[in-house]
Amino acid sequence: MTYALLFTIILMFSLKGGQILELPYNVLKVAAPLIVYFILMFFVSFMVNWRAKLSYDKNVAISFTATGNNFELAIAVSIAVFGIHSPQAFVGVIGPLVEVPVLILLVKVSHWLRVRLYT
């Protein structure tokens, strides 16, 4: 199952790569709300857990779980329901392209928050 999922993701990136480069405005229309969503979900979750006096380790684990999405599943469902060349499949490919860099940035933010709030 994992290999099939990985194959689907690689296939989608290879099929949609040209479209991503040709339609930068569409990518931006999808990426901007996702960036806001990831940051908002992380900070709301982190602050709620901090107020609840959870340990840093538990807080970070819960915050990243709340922030992350199952884009791999979304890609598979959009292909099955709408087809591989659908706009829904295109949007599903943009998600991981945005999610990974934002979550990496949020890891750095979480380390900064640890120093600020947990020491």
Output the CA torsion sign for 84, 87, 88, 89. positive
Please state the pTM of the whole predicted model. Answer: 0.77
The domain in which residue 22 lies consists of: 2-117
Q: Which of 15, 34, 31 shows the shortest CA–CA distance to 79?
A: 15
Tally of domains in the chain: 1
**90-101 mean pLDDT:** 81
* Cβ contacts of 106 within 8 Å, gap of 6 or more: 38, 39, 42, 64, 67
Per-residue pLDDT reduced to its tens digit, 24-57: 888 888 889 989 999 999 999 999 999 999 999 9
Burial class of 80 by CB neighbour count within 10 A (0 to 12, 13 to 18, 19+) = exposed
